[in-house]
Structure 1
Amino acid sequence: MRDEELKTLFDQQAAGYDQQWAGMAPIRQTLYLLLDALFTELPADARILCVGVGTGAEIGYLAERFPAWRFTALDPSGAMLEQCRQRAQRGGFLQRCDFHEGYLDTLAAQSAYDGATCFLVSQFFLDTSARTDFFRQIAQRLKPGALLANADLTCDTRTPAYEVLLRQWMTLMSAAGVQPEMLERARAAYARDVAVLPAQQVAGIIEAAGFSAPVQFFQAGLMGGWGCRRLAEG
């Protein structure tokens, strides 16, 4: 799926996105709990870049936990970013957020951030070199030693385990109240528009972009999460 097609899709889903996926909140909250432990060593006044932030759920969590942190919310979907802005307004942390509509290459490439989140974004890069460049662009905007938390769908799709996990994942989403048409759209997307790769391969892509060897700190069904540091220059 092309960039503009993805942007249009998320623009259309923005208003009802949180409600549509509300039943999957326990998985998201578990990811954030572990993210908390990963990010707790960051400075009290840390600046965090949230790439593909969507409706801003991770910012909402982190803003409450770390009251002096500032956030840059980046997303190509203006409609999603507006939902993020409304969340910040309701949560009382709007003044700690900057909102940037666009892709990474439209954000100044300066090493300004102490940490970054990137959840369920890089999987939309079907070409490995493009996916590596995506993480390289994140690295360019982080301070040396800054932390990256990344989450993507992951599995070796060539193995029997994938069919087992995919079936369980679909059952989980159905039980969580995800509508049948969304389930079918997701199943089709996993086969056509999402690069579901083995965890070791995802980690290798991130490392090749200028990060320390990623450590997988989270796994729930088909979703995995990795933490790593931006390597020092040179």
Structure 2
Amino acid sequence: MRQDEIKAIFDQQAASYDAQWAKTAPIKDCLYFLLGSLFAELPADARILCVGVGTGVELAYLAHKNPTWEFTAVEPSGPMLDVCRQRAEKEGVASRCHFHEGYLDSLSASGSHDAATCFLVSQFILDQQRRSDFFREISRRLKPGGILASSDLASDVESAEYEVLLRAWVNMMAASDISPEAIDRMRKAYSNDVGVLPPGRVASIIEAGGFEPPVQFFQAGLIHAWLSKRAPGNAA
């Protein structure tokens, strides 16, 4: 699936996205709870880069926990970014946010951010070299020693384990008021349009993008998450 096709899907889903996925909130709540702990030692004036911010849930979570942090919200889908902006305005954190509509490569590589988030984004990049290049673009926008919290769907799709996790995942989606047609499309997408790779391979891709070896800190079903530190000498 091409970038423009993926963007069009998220454009169409923006208005109903949060409601559609509301019943999966326990997964996100746990991920964000851990995220707050992982970012706990960042400075009081930290700048956070949120890549593929979507509707801005993780941005709002971090902004409320850290009232002096500033955020750069990057999102190629204009309608999704509009929802993010509206959320930030409603919750009183918009003054600390810079909203950038577009892909990461259109954002200045200033190396000025203390940390970054990138949740369920890189999985849409099927070419593994391009996927590493994507993580390198993130690392170039971090300060030396800056940290990245990222998550993606991950599993060895040839394994029996994947079949168990996929069945549970589909059952969870079915309980989330998602239509049978959408679930069928999801199954096909995971086979053809989403780069679902073994967790170790995803970690290697992140490392090849200019980070020290990532530490996996979370798994819920097919979602895996890693904490990574920008590697020394990775020039901005």
Match of 2:142 in 1: 142
CA distance in 1, matches of 2:179, 2:218: 26
Structure 1 SS opposite 2:55: coil
CA distance in 2, matches of 1:116, 1:83: 20
Of all paired residues, the percent bearing the same amino acid is: 59
Compute the TM-score of the two structures, normalised by the length of structure 1.
Answer: 0.98
Residues 23 and 178, structure 1, Cα contact 8 Å, conserved in 2? no
Alignment map for 1:192-207 (pairs within 5 Å): 192-207=192-207
Which 10-residue stretch deviates more, 201-210 or 170-179? Answer: 170-179
Q: Deviations over 1:119-155 (max 9, x none)?
A: 0000001100000000000001000101100000010
Flag as ranges the 4+ runs of structure 1 deviating above 3 A: none
Match of 1:64 in 2: 64
Kindly provide the amino acid, as one letter, of the partner of residue 168 in structure 1.
Answer: A
Compute the TM-score of the two structures, normalised by the length of structure 2.
Answer: 0.97
Give me the CA root mean square deviation.
0.9
- TM-superposed CA distance for 1:232, in Å, is 2.1
Match of 1:215 in 2: 215
Match of 1:190 in 2: 190
Q: Deviations over 1:34-78 (max 9, x none)?
A: 111111011111000000000001001101111111111101000
Structure 1: state its 5+ residue gaps.
Answer: none
CA distance in 2, matches of 1:212, 1:182: 37
Alignment map for 1:1-234 (pairs within 5 Å): 1-233=1-233
CA distance in 2, matches of 1:62, 1:79: 22
Residues 47 and 113, structure 1, Cα contact 8 Å, conserved in 2? yes
Kindly provide the amino acid, as one letter, of the partner of residue 108 in structure 1.
Answer: S
CA distance in 2, matches of 1:33, 1:176: 22
Structure 2: state its 5+ residue gaps.
Answer: none
Residues 20 and 176, structure 2, Cα contact 8 Å, conserved in 1? no
CA distance in 2, matches of 1:142, 1:163: 37
CA distance in 2, matches of 1:82, 1:4: 18
